[in-house]
Structure 1
Amino acid sequence: MLHPPVRMMLLDPGHFHAALLLNYHRDAIHPRLFCYAPVGPDLLDWMQHLTRFNTRSLHPTRWQLDVRASDSFEDRFFRELPGRAAILAGRNHRKLSRMRRCVESAVHVIADKPWAIAPEQLPEIEAMLHEARLREMQVFDAMTERWAAPNQLLRTLLADRTLFGMLQPGTVDLPAIRLASMHALHKYVAGRPQIRPVSFFHPDEHGEPLADVGTHLADLAMWIAFPDQTFHFRSDLTILRAGRDRLPLRLPQWQRLTGFSQYPNELADWIISDVLHWPSRNWVDFTLKGHHIRIDAGWEEHLPNGDWTTAEFRGSRCWIALKNDPPPISSPVVILSPNDPAEFETIRALLVDRLSDWDDRYPNLSLKIQDNRFEIRISESQLVPHEQLFGRVMAQFLQHVQTNKPLPAWEYPNLLTKYAITTQGVARSRESESPPPE
């Protein structure tokens, strides 16, 4: 059945992810994009991204930008509503109220993380999701990392009980699951240096790292290790301990990252001896239905080998981890280590069979034995650049919008649990300025 293309609107794009969701042309989206925003650098940045997408030599897009900029852009957006779906990214402290208004106006929403940066916002998410169900509206959290090949392979490995066994409960000092990620403030996006908006550095406006990039880690903990299981944060989640660290950013660094010559007045509380001491890292230990989990998320000014993520899962038969090769390779490798050395050959035979069976899903996986453990490498052709993952999330969103297919029953309860982990973790971390335990 053919569906008419979706007319897409953008409301105050304050993060470059609003552009990456439109990185590729799709027949399911009408080429005319309606953007409502105040005149300023963030709007200009979004327009420049879309212009580059339109004019690149390889797979150019054909977007027609209908920009409706004014001081009263938000009122105008909800008064005119020329489309049936909206993209929201950035402006994290205002995002949730805007999403709620979209749902109440019968507008489908795909929103970049995070939806919440403080625990008191959880009831608002709950009310919005209830409204979305009643109105049969799609509300999508852009969880791009679910589409990354290493994470999909981890999910498949952990679901194989003959290989992994059962996830162990773990302890606070030896968690069953550990997920960590570090991200570079200075990076290139679509071939150009990324300028950070001032709001990015305001903890109460953009959110601290755990509430921002840590959202992916909280999501992956459930999605990888507990596929299709439902969690309810009020009964299944217990926050145990947390902490945070700060990154000193001197004025020359600030100028390079933001393009602004001085620190803004709104960050005065974080400036000590003329240096911005920015909350750059949070970690939290918690349990989900009795399983101990630790997530750790942060930012550095530079990461020579790019952003990285590591993961560990402790099963009754094997320990499975995601690591990164040392430079200059720096590609992800999945490690599997049997708990009982006597089972090494049995596990090896199982792995050989599984990799053969999974060749259609994960083509050209390679298996290597190193230091009494197995290393599984994903072929370069399957390691999709992060920017391309946004297109896969958008394609999924459009499919649900056009077919009116509801999300799985576990999706919204786990979404609330995810934001309970991140926001309550940040709140607890403010009580302890400390790095994570080893």
Structure 2
Amino acid sequence: MIRSSFVLLSVMSVMACNSNEAQKEKRGSDITLVTLDPGHFHAALVQKTMYPGVDSNVYVYAPEGPDLKLHLDRINAYNTRADQPTHWNEQVYTGTDFFQKMIAEKKGNIVVMAGNNQKKTEYIFKTVDAGMNVLADKPMVINSDGFELLKKAFTKAAENKVLLYDIMTERFEINTMLQREFSQAKKLFGELEKGTPDNPAVTKESVHYFYKFVSGNVLQRPSWFMDVMQQGEGIVDVTTHLVDLVQWESFPGQVLDYNKDVALISAKRWPTNMTLSQFNAITKQNAFPEYLKKDLINDSTLSVYSNGEINYKLRGVHAKVSVTWGYKAPEGTGDTHYSIMRGTRTNLIIKQGKEENYRPVLYIEPVGKKDADYEKDLNEALQTVEEKFPGIGVEKTAKGWRAVIPEKYNTGHEAHFGQVTESYLKYLKDGKLPDWEVPNMITKYYITTSALELAKKTSAK
């Protein structure tokens, strides 16, 4: 009896502490999140952690249905996990006028958008027009018509003094950050090559799979994810990250102008085929919905234009980005990334293949035969890198060196959403984005949407 009373008392104490913490957080909150129609699991990943100064109440506006249920289930899983549980309180509105209701009520000051992309650009424009900040998952736009509206949205955001920003998680992957840092060590790297269409100076390739695990569970995707009219083709979706990294690494902190700095060379697109049984495994749907009938090869095979490649020049530097989607990764593998930046003295290469146990690894390789000062210059560059990333080292390989990275930096893709959100919250506190962010976002989406148009023309010939 005494033991039972103690347990009850302990439980009540924990509940009281949690309640006090929540109230304390609310009293000190300057930021309240709003989630709009969360059809993509990225919406939940923004809330995988709590943030100082952010209200634990989150206002969700969405239509009733499986997308909303999956989102709320993910938030509940974060709230009830054993290790560092969150304490989000989701306030949900599901009327058919959910978007209009969100605009009218203005319950929060940051609207998180990660879902169906068909109306996303329109939602973005109307939300910033109403004076609300927007943190949007990629892509913010999936076609050229949408690009024109997105430009107007950035203009409107500036007029209303709100921040419109997209979630570029790949900037927080440690090997990518190190590739950028070492490329700025001019004595080691030299100058970024100009390259050619056949041998670009910067190449970034990304391989993804429809069947994957997220937060320890098989990801259930909405049926519309396979509809390019709603999700967008691969050439305007995942390539958003790759184009962003080309800009962020090659011209850090510099303002880019798509009218002057971009020259498209070629673009192509191709489909990934998916059987009905495969479709069922990831959507739990027993039949293809009506809106996918246009993409059927036959009654049991769906053709999804999820793959694309863009060759272009950015300020005279040849770059190539490509994305491919398979259905399911071979056992023991997963999504992979390949990247190379070619300097006049050093090539910086990220590989994620079998030799790397399917984990990204940065290689530092001299161009040609290394000279007598190469190792000295490498050690000097390493010292500078270590000032930002303590504990980073290098070890010799047959062709050069590979970065040795302490495990604390390998936070994983899901954690990067929290890091992006923390950066965005800092920008809100400062009242502005870095000067280069908006013009470079516009340049990025010009490249992806223009490439789609070029690829369609090419494939139609």
Match in the other structure for 1:121: 146
Q: How far apart in 2 are the matches of 1:30 and 1:408?
A: 25
Measured after TM superposition, the shift of residue 433 of structure 1 is 5.2
SS in 2 for 1:230: coil
- 1:13 is matched with which residue: 24, 38, 58? 38
Matched, 1:371 2:398: yes
Where in structure 1 are there 5+ consecutive unaligned residues? none
Match in the other structure for 1:315: 343
SS in 2 for 1:31: strand
Judging changes above 3 Å, is the alpha-carbon distance between structure 1 residues 303 and 377 closer, same or farther for their aligned structure 2 residues? farther
SS in 1 for 2:351: strand
Matched, 1:242 2:267: yes
SS in 2 for 1:301: strand
Question: Deviations for 1:353-412, whole angstroms, at most 9, x for unmatched residues?
Answer: 3323432422333322222322223222211110000001111112222342x1111111
Superposition RMSD in Å:
1.7
- Which protein is bigger by CA-based radius of gyration? 2
Measured after TM superposition, the shift of residue 82 of structure 1 is 1.2
* Structure 1 letter corresponding to 2:380: D
Q: How far apart in 2 are the matches of 1:142 and 1:149?
A: 17
What is the TM-score with the length of structure 2 in the denominator? 0.90
Question: Deviations for 1:180-230, whole angstroms, at most 9, x for unmatched residues?
Answer: 101111111112111111111111211011211110000000001110111
Q: How far apart in 2 are the matches of 1:3 and 1:167?
A: 47
What is the TM-score with the length of structure 1 in the denominator? 0.95
Matched, 1:263 2:291: no
Using the TM superposition, name which of 216-225 and 103-112 deviates more: 103-112
Match in the other structure for 2:444: 418
Contact 2:181 2:385 (C-alpha < 8 Å) held by counterparts: no
Matched, 1:336 2:364: yes
Question: Deviations for 1:328-358, whole angstroms, at most 9, x for unmatched residues?
Answer: 7222221222223142x42222212332343
Q: How far apart in 2 are the matches of 1:20 and 1:14?
A: 12
Match in the other structure for 2:80: 55
Measured after TM superposition, the shift of residue 155 of structure 1 is 0.9
Judging changes above 3 Å, is the alpha-carbon distance between structure 1 residues 83 and 342 closer, same or farther for their aligned structure 2 residues? closer
- 1:297 is matched with which residue: 311, 318, 323? 323
Which residues of 2 match residues 31-430 of structure 1 at below 5 A? 31-274=56-299, 275-304=301-330, 305-326=333-354, 329-343=357-371, 345-404=372-431, 406-430=432-456
Measured after TM superposition, the shift of residue 148 of structure 1 is 1.2
* Structure 2 letter corresponding to 1:362: F
Measured after TM superposition, the shift of residue 3 of structure 1 is 6.5
Match in the other structure for 2:51: 26
Using the TM superposition, name which of 110-119 and 331-340 deviates more: 331-340
Q: How far apart in 2 are the matches of 1:369 and 1:267?
A: 51
Q: Which has the higher contact order (CA 8 A, sep 6+)?
A: 1
Measured after TM superposition, the shift of residue 115 of structure 1 is 0.5
SS in 1 for 2:386: coil
Q: How far apart in 2 are the matches of 1:29 and 1:252?
A: 43
Using the TM superposition, name which of 139-148 and 318-327 deviates more: 318-327
Contact 2:258 2:442 (C-alpha < 8 Å) held by counterparts: yes
* Structure 1 letter corresponding to 2:441: L
Contact 1:210 1:298 (C-alpha < 8 Å) held by counterparts: no
Contact 2:188 2:381 (C-alpha < 8 Å) held by counterparts: no
Where in structure 2 are there 5+ consecutive unaligned residues? 1-26
SS in 2 for 1:35: strand
Runs of 4+ in 1 over 6 A off after TM superposition: none
Q: How far apart in 1 are the matches of 2:134 and 2:406?
A: 34
Measured after TM superposition, the shift of residue 273 of structure 1 is 2.4
